[in-house]
Structure 1
Amino acid sequence: MSLSLFILGSLANENSSPYQLKKALLDVIPIKISEGKFYYNFEALQKKGLIEPVETIQIVNRPNKTLYGITEKGRHFLEKEIYNSFKKVTKIEDLYISIYLLKYIDPVKAAFYLEETIKKEKNRWDEFKKAKVRMDILDEMQQRAVRFISEHAFSQSEHNIHWMEKLLTFIKRIKE
C-alpha cells in the first residue's frame, strides 16, 4: 500500500506522468522497486477511480505523454490510508511514505493513533516476554536456538518501539 500512497500523495501535490513519479520516488525514498510493481500499482489506482488522466502532451517525434491527477475519491482514500498506516505499524520502515506525506493529514490525529499503536505494541511484547517456552522438551541445541531467536525478536521490537517513540516526538513537534 505504501507505493500506492506515494503515487496518490505525489498526484495530490501536482499532476504528473508515471515515469516522473517513479523517478521522484527513487530520488526521495531509499527503497528498491521493480518497474512492473510500480506500474501495476499505478494501473490499480486508476481502475479504482482514485487517479485519472488529466492531460495528454504531444511532442513531435515522441510518444504522447499522459499526465495524471488525483480524484476527489483518491484524496479521501489517501488521507484514510495514511491514518490507517499509523494505526497498524509494527516496523518503522512501513511508515516511510506516510511520514513523507504527513502534510496531507492532521498531525495531532496521527500522533493519537501512533500513541495507541505504541501502547499495543508494548503490551504485545510484554505478553511475549511473560510466555514460558517449554525448554524441558527441547534438546540443548534447540534451547540455544530459542534463546537466540528470542533475544533477536525482543531486540528488534525494542528498536522498533524506540523509533516509533522518536516518530511520535517528531509528529508532535510539527504543530509547534
Structure 2
Amino acid sequence: MSLALFILGSLADENSHPYKLKKILLDTIPINKISEGKFYYNFEALQKKGLIEPVETIQKENRPNKTLYRITEDGRQFLEQEIYNSFKKVSKIEDVYISIYLLKYIDPVKAVFLLEDAIKQEKKRWAKYKEAKNNDELVKQFQLLDDKQQKAVKFISDHAYSQSDHNILWMEKLLTFLKRIDD
C-alpha cells in the first residue's frame, strides 16, 4: 500500500504522470528498486477504485503519450485514512517510510496516539514470544533437535529478537520525531 500512498500524496500536491513520480520516489526515499510494471499497476488500481483520474494526455512528436493524473476527493480521504492506518499497524519502521514522508496530510498528534498504541502492542507481542520460549513443552521440543538444529534455532531466535528490539527502538524514535515535528 505504501506505493499507492506515495502516488496519492504526490498527486495531492500537483497533477503528474507515472514516470515523473517514479523518478521522484527513487530519487527521494531510500527504498528498493520498483519495477515499472508494479508502478503502473498501482496507477491502474487507484484509477479503478476512483481514487485518481486522468486529466490530460500530452502528445509530443516522436515521444510516447504522457497521461497526467489527479487525485479525487475520495482519494484525498483515502490517503489521510491510510496514513493513519499505517501508524496504527506499524511493526517495522520501513513499513512507514512513505507515511512519514507524507506527514503534511495528517495531524501528527493523532499519529502519535496511534503509534503509542502500536509500540505497546509490539512490545507485548515480543514479550509473549520471549516468555513462550521458556515454556516446558517448547523446551522439550528444542531438546529433541540435534545439535546443528539447536544452534540454527538459537541463531534465528537471536536475530528475530534483535530485530524486534531494533524496530521498537526506531518506533520510539519515530514517536519522538512526531511529537517534535511542529517545533
**TM-score bracket relative to the smaller structure:** over 0.9
Give distance in 2, aligned partners of 1:142 and 1:92: 31
Tell me, yes or no, if structure 1 residue 159 matches structure 2 residue 160: no
Structure 1 residue 36 displacement after superposition:
0.5
| Partner in structure 1 of residue 145 of structure 2 | 138
Structure 1 residue 60 displacement after superposition:
4.4
- Counterpart secondary structure, 1:74: helix
TM-score of the two chains, using structure 1 as the length reference: 0.95
Higher mean displacement: 57-66 or 36-45: 57-66
Tell me, yes or no, if structure 1 residue 116 matches structure 2 residue 117: yes
Structure 1 residue 89 displacement after superposition:
1.1
Structure 1 residue 61 displacement after superposition:
4.7
| Partner in structure 1 of residue 154 of structure 2 | 147
Tell me, yes or no, if structure 1 residue 20 matches structure 2 residue 27: no
Matches within 5 A, 1:1-176: 1-31=1-31, 32-131=33-132, 132=134, 133-134=138-139, 135-176=142-183
Give distance in 2, aligned partners of 1:162 and 1:63: 47
Structure 1 residue 82 displacement after superposition:
0.5
Structure 1 residue 175 displacement after superposition:
2.5
**Paired letter, 2:11:** L
Give distance in 2, aligned partners of 1:61 and 1:123: 59
Give distance in 2, aligned partners of 1:36 and 1:11: 19
**Paired letter, 2:161:** F
**Paired letter, 1:29:** I
Give distance in 1, aligned partners of 2:55 and 2:128: 52
Give distance in 2, aligned partners of 1:56 and 1:109: 38
Unmatched runs of 5 consecutive residues or more in structure 2: none
Give distance in 2, aligned partners of 1:61 and 1:138: 66
Give distance in 1, aligned partners of 2:40 and 2:117: 34
Structure 1 residue 170 displacement after superposition:
0.4
Q: Sequence identity of aligned pairs in percent?
A: 77
How many residues align? The count is 176
Indicate the RMSD between aligned Cα atoms, in angstroms: 1.2
**Paired letter, 1:161:** I
Structure 1 residue 91 displacement after superposition:
0.9
Give distance in 1, aligned partners of 2:145 and 2:66: 63
**Paired letter, 1:6:** F
- Counterpart secondary structure, 1:66: strand
